[in-house]
Amino acid sequence: MPRKFFMRYLPLTPEDRADMLGVIGAESIDELFVDVPAVARRKDPVDLPFHAGELEVEREMLGLSRRNRSASEGPFFVGAGAYRHHVPASVDHIIQRSEFLTSYTPYQPEIAQGTLQVLFEFQTQVAALTGMEVANASLYDGSTATAEAVMMATRVTRRSKAVLSGGVHPHYVGTVETLAHAAGVATERLAPAIDAEDAVIAAIDADTACVVVQTPNVFGTATDVSKIAAAAQAAGALLVVVTTEAVSYGLLKSPGEMGADVVVAEGQSIGNGLSFGGPYVGLFACKEKYVRQAPGRLCGETVDAEGRRGFVLTLSTREQHIRRDKATSNICTNSGLCALAFSIHMSLLGEKGLRRLALVNHQKALKLRDALAAVPGVQVLTPRFFNEFAIKVPGVAAELVETLAANGVIAGVPFSRLDPAAGLDDVLLVAATETTPDSDIAFFAKALTKVLDQ
């Protein structure tokens, strides 16, 4: 058999390796790596499976996949930053069209008008949802968007401290702290709180660059942050409002109406499935006066030489395009396909559809609250919420979740899983969406009652 057909997927034959070593001037692989200290060399193979045939690999992966349980396989009440919603089949159908799935990155407008228009419409939708003046063409996800907002606030205010509300999702806080530490920005993380308004206002001082609050927060509490906005801005700081559940924009007052300077959100709930945690899409919007400090890129509308409507990359302050030390961010993508899915779903819903969807979500959560509140030993902690709330349960919430899973119910997220050091081992976060049938709510309440009686 000719050598070029020897191996399709692992193309280097022993003869190929010998030829390469000959060119280099080494007689063996060991001689090639002679400069690597002996102490750094492994004597045995790494602890990984050896190569296998395609059928064997397929069978192994199928076995692993069967250990998972998807959200659609039974009663499911998990939220905590990622929510199960219905995604119309038309969304997947459209994003898989070749002109979208394989379209060229929009740096050359003459060959990327379709992509640029989609991003322009996406920005328009995000600005309308958040109540802000401008929005960028998306970021990685909600947590990294939050970190970018903090960095932006330090550039705008020329201060270097961020106050993080006790209602912000702990994973978002961790992302902010990671980037802030590397950038030399101080962070003040307040203690977890069901309603953190007073503590946030008390923490604002003359060194504060921004205050980061979340609504609905990680415990589900929906808060009018107008007072926090006024207090932050009076001290010369920016208010960054975080939202992890984008569908809530259909029912609650927008962050812009409440005085936010910057709004960041996770857009997964609209057009994007749970997908075991990603990829997701980060929303980022702000007041127009801060647009040149915004991360990522922004598409704009223009006219060509013949007066026809067209779209261009108006701002792109990323390190790939300008000197690294002048870039506002090193963000390297905008999760374009996820942003497209978001925009398609929003277009299908429209304003009325989103409002109806949000109302159904809230109504389902109210039914869930009533059902769980009736279970002896359970206390509902969240006073006002959208589609998610916290309950206090007897014992350890994480153990209760495992027991309920064995009884066919994925009951929610123990807060201790998000923040093990918080000391809230008896707090469970539960969510209901339009995908939650009343029968599942009844099954959950019955199973919970049974488990707590044991």
For 330-360, write each residue's pLDDT tens digit.
777 778 999 999 999 999 999 999 999 999 9
What pLDDT does residue 11 have?
Answer: 72
% of the chain at pLDDT higher than 90:
80
- What lies within 8 Å, CB to CB, of 370 at 6+ separation is none
**18-49 tens-digit pLDDT:** 999 999 999 998 899 999 998 998 888 888 88
Residues of the chain with CATH 3.90.1150.10: 71-84+351-453
What's the CATH number of domain 71-84+351-453, 2.60.40.10, 3.90.1150.10, 3.40.630.10, 3.40.50.720? 3.90.1150.10
Please check whether residue 284 is in contact with residue 136, taking contact to mean a CB–CB distance below 8 angstroms.
yes
The CA distance from 383 to 378, in Å, is 15
Average pLDDT along the chain: 93
- Take residue 27 and report the two structure tokens written for it: 């007689």
Which pLDDT band, with edges at 50, 70 and 90, does 177 fall under? very high
String of DSSP letters for 359-406: HHHHHHHHHHHHHHHTSTT-EE--SSBSSEEEEE-SS-HHHHHHHHHH
Q: Does this model's pTM top 0.85?
A: yes
Please check whether residue 143 is in contact with residue 264, taking contact to mean a CB–CB distance below 8 angstroms.
no
**61-118 tens-digit pLDDT:** 999 999 988 899 999 999 999 999 999 999 999 999 888 877 767 778 888 898 999 9
Query: What average pLDDT does this structure show over 303-310?
Result: 92
The CA distance from 11 to 16, in Å, is 9
Q: What is the CATH number of domain 89-346?
A: 3.40.640.10
Q: Reply yes or no on whether the pLDDT at 126 is more than 60.
A: yes
Q: Reply yes or no on whether the pLDDT at 6 is more than 50.
A: no
What pLDDT does residue 263 have?
Answer: 98
Q: Look at strands 238-243 and 210-214 and give their pairing.
A: parallel
Q: Reply yes or no on whether the pLDDT at 137 is more than 70.
A: yes
What pLDDT does residue 10 have?
Answer: 66
Which pLDDT band, with edges at 50, 70 and 90, does 1 fall under? very low
- From residue 135, alpha-carbon distances to 6, 142, 186 in Å are 53, 14, 27
Please name which of 236, 246, 43, 51 lies closest in space to residue 135, comparing C-alpha atoms: 246
Query: What average pLDDT does this structure show over 197-225?
Result: 97
Q: Reply yes or no on whether the pLDDT at 191 is more than 50.
A: yes
The CA distance from 130 to 136, in Å, is 12
**388-445 tens-digit pLDDT:** 999 999 999 999 999 999 999 999 999 999 999 999 999 999 999 999 999 999 999 9
Which pLDDT band, with edges at 50, 70 and 90, does 211 fall under? very high
Query: What average pLDDT does this structure show over 176-201?
Result: 96
Please check whether residue 252 is in contact with residue 322, taking contact to mean a CB–CB distance below 8 angstroms.
no
SS3 (DSSP) at 446? helix
Query: Both ends of the chain: CA-CA distance in Å?
Result: 70
The DSSP 8-state label assigned to residue 29 in this structure reads H
Is the bond preceding 192 in cis, omega lying within 30 degrees of 0? no
Residues of the chain with CATH 3.40.640.10: 89-346
**220-276 tens-digit pLDDT:** 999 999 999 999 999 999 999 999 999 999 999 999 999 999 999 999 999 999 998
What pLDDT does residue 107 have?
Answer: 76
What pLDDT does residue 375 have?
Answer: 98
Please check whether residue 145 is in contact with residue 283, taking contact to mean a CB–CB distance below 8 angstroms.
yes
